[in-house]
Amino acid sequence: HGENIKETQNLIHQSKTIFEACMVYKNLFFKGDILEPSADGWNLYEMKASTKVKDEYIPDLAFQKYICEKNGIKIKNCFIEYINKDYIKQGNIIPNELVLQEDVTGDVNQIDDIEENSEKYIKIIEQGEPLEISISKKCNKPYECPLKDECRNNLPEYHVLQLTNWRKYWELFEDGILDIKDIPKDEILSSDKDQVIKEAVDENKIIINKDKIRNFLNKLQYSLYYLDFETFDTAIPIFDQSRPYQKIPFQYSLHIQDENDKVKHFDFLAQREKDPRPELLVRLEKEIGQTGSVIVFNKTFEISVLKKLAEDFPKYESFIKDTISRIIDLAGLFKNFDYYNPIQKGRYSLKAVLPAITGK
């Protein structure tokens, strides 16, 4: 970054706005988003793709301000720029409506331990060996630790952190009970799901609630339509009548199974840069039929996509409402642990369920 540091100093002397300004102080380095000259100092801007200002952003700016001032650059104000989640694209993007600004100068100025913490972190880095850090609730806050799985690899195969009641599993963990098998028989597990997990692990067996599964199957009406959407989302909306991070469906897969178990497959994949939603709706209305169960895995996702389509394309509202009314969620059986295999390890996502059922 040597050339970038020199160029930053050159632009500072010219009092020009700097993007990705680079500075060092001792063995500390930062690359900021925007450094802007003002009448009696400089302003720091941190650009975030988030839709709100988060507490963890403040120390980042405080670190930048600390290094700037150690380089003789007086920081007047600190701002965070973030995405306006309510912005709706209509024609060309209007930047000052898409991006919101919050003055966090007061919060940044309250942080006065940058030098102390920096010295502490440098000593840790220079040790060459990672610290012995115990597993705790901090592993997920403010961000999930990228080495979390490394630490948990040292736990028993079926450990208490796989339970669903997080208050209970931390209580057990902090009491030194790590293995689900070591939970006393008289221990009260308030969650029915956790009772299932313990029974499955203790007895090394698959738990199947046949009555619940039978009731689920009895609700199905042929033909069966197995529907799955693929979506994308962007901070800057691409298509008119869409918002930042709105999930835009660009693909679906639809398997249709009749009463004789004959299966047909239909799919849609956007082929052009234009908005794929109008063509997707035309195809889906034609292919999904007016009767029969629509089977999805995790209905929350599919229903949210369909509801947004109905909102943005009102002429399809009746069709979409009818489709939603026919949805049956296959994930419900697994979320409720009506089927549970110990190898799921407390999870019920498709990635956990599929190997548990198929062995693949």
pLDDT, tens digit, 9 for 90 and up, residues 40-94: 999 999 999 999 999 999 999 999 999 999 999 999 999 999 999 999 999 999 9
CA angle 164, 169, 173 (to 5 degrees): 150
Model pLDDT, residue 236: 97
- Residue 259 DSSP class: T
pLDDT band at 151 (very low <50, low <70, confident <90, very high): confident
Domain 2-117, CATH among 3.40.1350, 3.30.70, 3.10.100, 3.40.50: 3.40.1350
Taking 80 as the threshold, does the pLDDT of residue 226 lie above it?
yes
Closest to 30 (Cα-Cα) out of 8, 51, 49: 8
Locate tokens 């869409």: which residue? Answer: 242
Model pLDDT, residue 194: 94
CB 310 within 8 A of CB 321: yes
Model pLDDT, residue 320: 98
Q: What is the pTM of this model?
A: 0.86
Locate tokens 């497959």: which residue? Answer: 265
Taking 90 as the threshold, does the pLDDT of residue 311 lie above it?
yes
Model pLDDT, residue 185: 83
- Interval 191-211 mean pLDDT: 96
Taking 80 as the threshold, does the pLDDT of residue 163 lie above it?
yes
What is the CATH number assigned to the segment(s) 215-329?
3.30.420
Taking 90 as the threshold, does the pLDDT of residue 325 lie above it?
yes
Distance CA 306, CA 281 (A): 10
Say what angle helices 277-287 and 299-312 make with each other, to 10 degrees: 110
pLDDT band at 265 (very low <50, low <70, confident <90, very high): very high
* Domains of the chain by residue range: 2-117, 137-205+336-358, 215-329
Torsion, Cα 218 268 86 311, to 10 degrees, reads: -60
Residue 110 identity: Q
